[in-house]
Structure 1
Amino acid sequence: MAPRANWKGFLRLSLVTCPVALYPATSDTEKVSFNQINRKTGHRIKYLKVDAETGDEVTSEDIVKGYKVDTDTYIEVTKDELDEIALDSTHTIEIDEFVPKADIDNRYLIRPYYLVPDGKVGHDAYAVIRETIRSLNKVAIGRVVLTNREHIIALEPLDSGLMGTLLRYPYEVRSEKEYFDDIQDVKLTKDMLDLAKHIVEKKSADFDPEEFEDRYEQALIDLINQKRNGIKVAKPAAKTGGNVINLMDALKKSIANEKDAAPAAKVAKETVKGKRPKKRVEGQREMLLPISGSGKREPKEAAKPEPKKAEKTTRAQGTAARKKAG
């Protein structure tokens, strides 16, 4: 089933307008997730909303938003008051300006969305806006309201559609000076840099997300499958690590390790070339195995009896041997 739109409204460039829908471009629903349960009963834990002072449960209609101004002092803000200050961009993404994509600092990027025409009308206006942005080789900057908050959104063509990326406001981005001021100014020798560059060259490759494997996700799936089938979970071997004593020695050892690992990596890559695993469609659901029996490990399959023909042959050979011995 297709995901639900996070937002529906209009995309507008001056007097050109079209109805659009905003869909999330990423998803975490396929990842393994856990619920909290009672160890004694196996029942799921239920959370109640209670008054911090009285301990009494509070119903949803009695819960309002409050801004904390002191330890026990809050300014109450109602939903109607929030609706009254809602901005015009609630139902419209107004393109305000066009900027070079390179001008957008990566720290300002939040998350991507797909912006598509909503319904059968407006496709021509949508195409005009999309191709105008494409021809300028720039990113369109607009504003959109999601969950009562106004966000800056950067729009750029992606195939036949538009991708919108939410951007942070300047006050949301911390200054790097708060963290980098205490970094020491170290003098590096040319030999060190040459060795490091050699390692980088050996590890250089084209970016291909299909090559990435979520190893922790796979470990979770393996763990769950083992427990579902009553298989004892073995503890992993203790990790060993050594301290780096000399930077130059570490660089030289790294190059030696790269040379040793290169042949095996090359063979493995050539083996799987053109034979990538099929993409998961249902997430971890198709990777989690069914429970064997009643949660216990299935008994080993009994050995099959020898065919009758072979049995007769064995008896005949035994009879011949006895006659020869007699």
Structure 2
Amino acid sequence: MATGSRTLWKGAITFGLVHIPVGLHTAATEQGVDFDWLDKRSMDPVGYKRINKKTGKEIDKDHIVKGVQYEDGKYVIISPEEIEAVFPKTTQTIEIERFIDANEMPFIFLERPYYVAPVNKSDKVYALLRETLIATGKVGLAKVVISTKQHLAALVPSGPALVLNLLRWGDEVKTLDSLELPAAGKKSVSAAELKMAKQLVEEMSGKWDPADFKDEFRIQVMKLVDKKAKAGEGHTVMDPEEEAPQTGEVIDLTALLKRSLKGGSAPVRKGAGKTAGKASAKAPAREAGAKSAAARKSAPERKAA
């Protein structure tokens, strides 16, 4: 089972006037077999070249512009400056906008999970939010920016942890309009068929144990890899490591829960102005860094860590 380790992102859960400082940790790993391209002469990694698909020739990066197709074969060119102007601002917050019943969230919207862990002595208010979600059967719908990309997310209690599930946006999930499906309801099947099907389901029912399900293809390939490695058929390939994103300081405002319920405003704490000033000074630098990175990438968005 995958477990979190390195902190990938630091920020705060916010709702009302409450801030809960937290860090995100990877909650899932992709275990498929990754066949990388290598140069058999030198064992160097082989990457993708900038190739003109019509001429087949490699072109210089200075001749590349970014275009968005709006009709078949027709594109609009978007400049780096125009991309920077609409890039989401990095706020370092998981901003809860609504609480919904947990059973209202369709599985089809779930995309990628992250473990959320408390930082900066926020254990008590973290536990309060977790237990409140469990007691009410609710999940929090939030927006968060990770690696310059804005996501819709669901904050869900899972055992002792809070899990942030990144969600697909509403227009990214296809409707059922184009599918020919049988009518919903028991009238579409006979009582005898339903009885036998329910009996079969009961006989095949059991407890959820992820250890019972494995990727057999990956296991067999990795056995072959292990056999070849032990036989001395391995090769050394140098690959640069990806650095974790740097994050800024977050102010803990956990004492404002009551004021949120009353619709009050946040009091100015001693030393808060100085801290807030530092945070405000750092924000433009982070935003500029994100924008510069965006201009260097070959696409306006990059994946979350």
TM over 0.5: yes
Q: TM-score, normalised by structure 2?
A: 0.61
1:48-63 equivalences in 2 (<5 Å): 48-53=49-54, 55-60=56-61, 63=64
* Residue-by-residue CA offset, 1:186-218 (whole Å, 9 max, x unaligned): 976655555444433332212211222222222
Q: 2:230 — aligned with what?
A: 291
Q: Which moved more, 1:186-195 or 1:128-137?
A: 186-195
TM-superposed CA distance for 1:70, in Å, is: 5.0
For residues 177 and 138 of structure 1, what CA distance do their matches in structure 2 show?
30
Q: 1:146 — aligned with what?
A: 146
Q: 1:272 — aligned with what?
A: none
Q: 2:78 — aligned with what?
A: 77
**1:25–1:74 Cα change, 3 Å:** same
Number of aligned residue pairs: give it.
231
Q: Which runs of 5+ in 2 are unaligned?
A: 235-305
Superposition misfits of 4+ residues, deviation over 6 angstroms: 38-43
Q: Given that residues 89 and 145 in structure 2 are in contact (C-alpha distance below 8 angstroms), is that contact kept between their aligned partners in structure 1?
A: no
Q: 1:200 — aligned with what?
A: 201
TM-superposed CA distance for 1:14, in Å, is: 1.2
Q: 2:130 — aligned with what?
A: 130
TM-superposed CA distance for 1:89, in Å, is: 6.4
Q: TM-score, normalised by structure 1?
A: 0.57
Counterpart of 1:179 in 2: which secondary structure?
A: coil
TM-superposed CA distance for 1:151, in Å, is: 1.8
**1:181–1:63 Cα change, 3 Å:** same
For residues 199 and 182 of structure 2, what CA distance do their matches in structure 1 show?
29
For residues 94 and 107 of structure 1, what CA distance do their matches in structure 2 show?
22
The residue type paired with residue 139 of structure 1 is V
Counterpart of 1:222 in 2: which secondary structure?
A: helix
**1:200–1:72 Cα change, 3 Å:** closer
**1:165–1:42 Cα change, 3 Å:** closer
TM-superposed CA distance for 1:171, in Å, is: 1.6
RMSD of equivalent CA atoms: 3.7
TM-superposed CA distance for 1:123, in Å, is: 4.0
Q: Given that residues 16 and 125 in structure 1 are in contact (C-alpha distance below 8 angstroms), is that contact kept between their aligned partners in structure 2?
A: no
Q: 1:218 — aligned with what?
A: 219
* Residue-by-residue CA offset, 1:243-275 (whole Å, 9 max, x unaligned): xxxxxxxxxxxxxxxxxxxxxxxxxxxxxxxxx
Counterpart of 1:180 in 2: which secondary structure?
A: coil
Counterpart of 1:178 in 2: which secondary structure?
A: coil
For residues 189 and 2 of structure 1, what CA distance do their matches in structure 2 show?
48
The residue type paired with residue 134 of structure 1 is I
Q: Given that residues 25 and 114 in structure 1 are in contact (C-alpha distance below 8 angstroms), is that contact kept between their aligned partners in structure 2?
A: yes
1:136-175 equivalences in 2 (<5 Å): 136-175=136-175
Q: 2:29 — aligned with what?
A: 27
For residues 135 and 102 of structure 2, what CA distance do their matches in structure 1 show?
13
The residue type paired with residue 76 of structure 1 is I
For residues 81 and 32 of structure 2, what CA distance do their matches in structure 1 show?
37
Q: Given that residues 13 and 129 in structure 1 are in contact (C-alpha distance below 8 angstroms), is that contact kept between their aligned partners in structure 2?
A: no
* Residue-by-residue CA offset, 1:74-116 (whole Å, 9 max, x unaligned): 3333444333324456422221111110111222221211122
* Residue-by-residue CA offset, 1:109-158 (whole Å, 9 max, x unaligned): 2121112234x354444344334433433111111123443221111223
Counterpart of 2:34 in 1: which secondary structure?
A: coil
**1:149–1:44 Cα change, 3 Å:** closer
